[in-house]
Amino acid sequence: MLITNGEADIYLVAEEQFEYDACLIAAQPEFGHASFVALKGVIGSQEPVGFYLSKYHFQDPFNTITDFTKPGWPLYSVENGGKKWLIMVIETWMPTPITDNPQGTWIYSYPIARNFCALIKEHGVKELCYATATASNDAFPDDIFSQPKRTRVYEYHFKEGGSRTTKLAFMLPPSWLFSHLFTEMGGEGWIVFTGYKEDGVVDETATTTFANYFKNRLNLPVNRKSIDKITARIQEETEDTESMKKVVVDELMTKNAKITENDTMFG
């Protein structure tokens, strides 16, 4: 089943009524993985109800047939306290190097966020929350953007405008774009964020902070076992990736050493 708005397409896995009260978004490939891991505590082991796709998505699902990855960003449905939430996980984002092509960031970010916001608003969504950590603050000196505490959350509501919160975080798309555009369309959009610290593969302190926010502020169910499970999985996959990198580097070094001994040119 397909619902669409311009270049925004949502493919539903099952034929169900696509009507929601609110939307919660987090990105998987963030440093520390805090918002994503906490979100997995809400989603648990359920399968996606659909996938969001547009021509601006960056996906290569055809690596191998046995490990086929569906293109698009998965959508989940969670209901609690009489409120129905649409949850979206951003799995990949189009690489847009700021130094090489700063305008490219906007070209790929704006349409994919605008179209999604317009589509979900057509289907009843009145609130949109984007959860993120402030890893981007590390790109600046502490006197400009220091890291906020990881033990508390900070909210920025676009309808309310400026406050001291704006001085705590340097946000890049898509962190602020979804919430901002949704507010411009007449909805209630906000960012919830916490601090970042390079403290292992998964920032468990920030993860707990987000989990408490989802449970206590948004009234969403949070399963601690699901959080522990995805944390262990991310740590294991990271270790496997690092081991693979080491094997590749060692092999290259060995081959290069042999080539050098034979005085052969190589590229």
Q: Can you give the pLDDT at residue 175? A: 83
Cβ atoms within 10 A of the Cβ of 7, count? 13
Q: How far apart are CA 19 and CA 86, in angstroms?
A: 9
CA distances from 130 to 191, 208, 217 (A): 5, 17, 14
- 267: in domain: no
For residue 74, the cross-strand partners are 51
Q: Can you give the pLDDT at residue 131? A: 94
- 152: in domain: yes
Question: Token pair of 201, please?
Answer: 């593969």
Q: Average of pLDDT values for 163-178?
A: 74
Coil vs helix vs strand at 50: strand
Question: Token pair of 118, please?
Answer: 């317009």
The tens digit of pLDDT for each residue in 95-147 reads 555 555 566 677 778 889 999 999 999 999 999 999 998 777 666 666 667 66
Confidence of residue 92 (pLDDT cuts 50, 70, 90): confident
**pLDDT exceeds cutoff 50 at 80:** yes
pTM: 0.82
- 226: in domain: yes
- Cα 164 → chain centroid: 25
- 225: in domain: yes
The tens digit of pLDDT for each residue in 149-169 reads 778 888 989 988 766 666 677
Q: Can you give the pLDDT at residue 48? A: 93
DSSP 63: S
Q: Can you give the pLDDT at residue 82? A: 86
Confidence of residue 69 (pLDDT cuts 50, 70, 90): low
125/195: higher pLDDT: 125
Query: What is the number of domains present in the chain?
Result: 1
3-state SS record for 132-174: EECHHHHHCCCCCCCCCCCCCCEEEECCCCCCHHHHCCCCCCC
- 139: in domain: yes
**pLDDT exceeds cutoff 60 at 260:** no
Q: Average of pLDDT values for 26-31?
A: 87
Name the range with the highest mean pLDDT among 95-99, 142-146, 229-233, 255-259.
Answer: 229-233
Q: Average of pLDDT values for 184-192?
A: 95
Dihedral (C-alpha) 227, 131, 71, 125: value to the nearest 10 degrees?
110
**26: domain range?**
2-261
Q: Shortest CA distance to 57 belongs to which of 1, 112, 4?
A: 112
Packing angle of the helix pair 102-122, 177-184 (nearest 10 deg) = 50
CATH number, position 43: 3.40.50.10900
- 266: in domain: no
